[in-house]
Amino acid sequence: MKEELTEDVDIPKSYSIDYITMSDGGQLRRLYFHPENPVGTVLLYPGMNTLVLSWEKVLKLLCELNYKVEYVESREKYTAILDKRDKVTKERMLLDNKETIEILKLKDTEYIAIGSSLGSSTLIHNMANKSIAPPNVILVGPSLEFKLPQKLMIILYFFNDFIYNNFGKKIIKKILLGKYTNKEKDPHQYRKYSLALDLANFGRLKKSIRSWQHNRLHEDLPLIDGSKSKCYLIGASEDKLHPDTDTIFIAENIANAEYIDLKTNTAAHDTPLIEFIQKITK
């Protein structure tokens, strides 16, 4: 049995770290690698409460292959620098994504935007409302509807930081990880999600969950201009948390989109994804 993880992985040595400031003053952590003569540019927008651990291999491999990489973490994560008055809502997080692309001067350039889980939902909403138009978009495990179990939402309502940090996270792990991860077929997914709950800023996570609960993508899909943004839907048919039925439906309802099954959540964050990025970069 592998040793239990207690902290996120170190940032890959080739990457630099800074913070980008949003229009409301909130600061989001950014990891970046800017090589000479890059073969392509990748903006990586991870999912809700996602750790670098989830994307460590991809970040390292993109570096080895000489891609320019921008990895920006959303504001519900413990790495963000926020004032207590700063909002952690769906609307603010969508605006963060738009502002990030503008601040990094990616707008009207050739780049690949990669979103995972809630990061995918963010990209889909913003493409639909025409605030962004990445030329190539890789959407890893988007969910048609963000819907956590009702009993968990009731528990979250009564939890505060003290309760969560002392015993509440064990209850949430039992509900979420048992239901939505496949420990036998993808043990790495179980371990990284467990650690993410250990390290979470509960107050921010609670606000973002309540804001995104029941969020739906159905109406947005036909509004995306497939001639401007070529979308590739990455499915993991053995992943319980991100059903491939959702991913297939999304691919079928975005113009000019394609569906690719990489079987497991771990494969969708590893070498098979890199090989696909190389394929569409050529």
DSSP 3-state assignment of 183? Answer: coil
Q: What is the pTM of this model?
A: 0.91
What is the tens place of the pLDDT at every residue in 251-272? 999 999 999 988 776 777 788 8
Identify the band that residue 151 occupies on the pLDDT scale cut at 50, 70 and 90.
confident
Q: What is the mean pLDDT of the chain?
A: 90
pLDDT > 90? residue 110: yes
pLDDT > 80? residue 81: yes
Q: Which CATH class is domain 16-148+216-281?
A: alpha beta
- 58-61 contacts, C-beta under 8 A, 24 or more apart: 58/269, 58/270, 58/273, 58/274, 59/12, 59/15, 59/31, 59/33, 60/12, 60/14, 61/271, 61/274
What is the tens place of the pLDDT at every residue in 231-245? 999 987 776 666 688
Q: Residues of the chain with pLDDT > 70: what percent? A: 94
Residue 166 neighbours by CB distance under 10 Å: 9
Q: How far apart are CA 33 and CA 17, in angstroms?
A: 9
The tokens 């939890």 sit on which residue?
Answer: 159
Closest CA to 237 of 216, 197, 264: 264
Residue 4's pLDDT is what? 54
Residue 265's pLDDT is what? 66
What is the tens place of the pLDDT at every residue in 4-37? 556 787 899 999 999 999 999 999 999 999 999 9
Structural domain boundaries in the chain: 16-148+216-281
